[in-house]
Amino acid sequence: MKAPELLAPAGSLLMARTALDFGADAIYAGQPRYSLRVRNNDFGTLDNLAAGIEATQSRGGRFYLVSNILPHNAKLKTYLEDMAPVMALKPDALIMADPGLMLMIRERWPEMPIHLSVQANTVNHAAVKFWRSTGVSRVILSRELSLDEVAEIRQECPDTELEVFVHGALCIAYSGRCLLSGYFNHRDPNQGSCTNSCRWDYKVHEGVEDASGDVDLAAPRPVAVSPAPTLECRARQAAPPGRLADRGARAPRRVHADRRGRARQLHPQLEDLRAIEYVARLAEIGVDSLKIEGRTKSPYYVARSCQSYRRAIDDA
């Protein structure tokens, strides 16, 4: 049985080196302008990107460049010009989601391998076959799939590399298909500037609907939730058996109530993903790469997660 690749995030050169030190086989990172991580991203300069690629490849690792925005026309005008010096650095593959950008890369640099981003929301084997027909060499499957569904895709698509996320944050919507951040503060998740609005604290208020259907919150009344002093709720119930998120981090989210029973906090976001106990099963299925989310997190985070998943892969 072939051991799957351990793919780790990097938002900085230090994170990339740390991930390799703690067992990662490959690194993924991207430029802020063309990937979905604008903040905490040190790879906006060509020098830093070159150093990251060299540091990874010199140690026998692979460096995948993330270019997975869903661009508007303005970014199309600068894309090829900006990518030319980056492609000269010879990353091992590009992670992409937009068909237009993929076509532009394929026409200009036909030899560059393309990995389909999770942003493409691939949930079935027919979609995998379609993307394979366009020249995609690897498909990063949606996080919403069960183990059985991943196994079925592997059986139906034996010639396509498959990658799955095993650890990190989960999007409340299909990856990137959320409008909360754009609605609340005009930061588009599909341009890499999501503010994780689903992780904010919210209060529930009672409003009055007028004749036009608008809700008047001029004098809102907080909704009574319970006479109990605190309420513990989970952002997401345990998934059905076989779901990758079935045994995720389950620290309860608290909804506090004051003496009048008024809600103080609500958290609509999902639980984070932790699928370390399914590593052996994923290896048995034949998944080619196990991916850790977290390009905006710390070197300590990537060290501990890589260390844990390296051990799980080696023991599988």
Q: Name the pLDDT band for 268 (thresholds 50, 70, 90).
A: low
Give the pLDDT of residue 44.
84
For position 228, what pLDDT does the model report? 39
Mean pLDDT of 160-187: 81
Least confident of 93-107, 172-186, 227-241, 285-299: 227-241
Most confidently predicted of 102-111, 184-193, 253-262: 102-111
Lowest mean pLDDT among 136-140, 209-213, 299-303: 209-213
What is the pLDDT averaged over residues 57-65? 98
Q: Which residue has the higher pLDDT, 88 or 266?
A: 88
The pLDDT of residue 101 is above 70:
yes
At 104, is the pLDDT very low, low, confident or very high (cuts 50, 70, 90)?
very high
Rounded to an integer, the average pLDDT of 187-203 is 70
Q: Is the pTM of this model over 0.75?
A: yes
pLDDT > 90? residue 172: no
What are the angstrom distances between the C-alpha of 280 and each of 73, 117, 316?
Answer: 44, 24, 5
Confidence band for 252, pLDDT divided at 50, 70 and 90? very low
pLDDT one-digit tens code per residue, 44-56: 899 999 999 999 9
Domain ranges of the chain: 5-170+271-315, 202-256
Cα separation, 227 vs 210, in Å, equals 30
Question: Which of 249 and 13 is assigned the larger pLDDT?
Answer: 13
- Given a cut of 70, whether residue 309 has pLDDT beyond it is yes
Q: Assess contact for 145 and 244: CB atoms under 8 A.
A: yes
Residue 198 confidence class, pLDDT cut points 50, 70, 90: confident
User: Taking a C-beta distance cutoff of 8 angstroms, is the pair 253, 231 a contact?
Assistant: no
Q: How confident is the model at residue 171 (pLDDT cuts 50, 70, 90)?
A: confident
Task: Output the pLDDT for position 281.
Answer: 97
Average pLDDT, stretch 161-180? 83
**Looking at domain 5-170+271-315, does it have CATH number 3.40.50.2000?**
no
Judge whether residue 61 has pLDDT over 80: yes
Between CA 280 and CA 268 the distance in angstroms is 31
Cα torsion through 96, 92, 16, 13, rounded to 10:
-90
* Arithmetic mean of pLDDT, 147-162: 98
The pLDDT of residue 218 is 59
**In this predicted structure, which of 108-112, 183-187, 289-293 has the lowest mean pLDDT?**
183-187
The confidence score (pLDDT) of residue 243 equals 46
pLDDT reported for residue 64:
98
The predicted structure's pLDDT at residue 79: 95
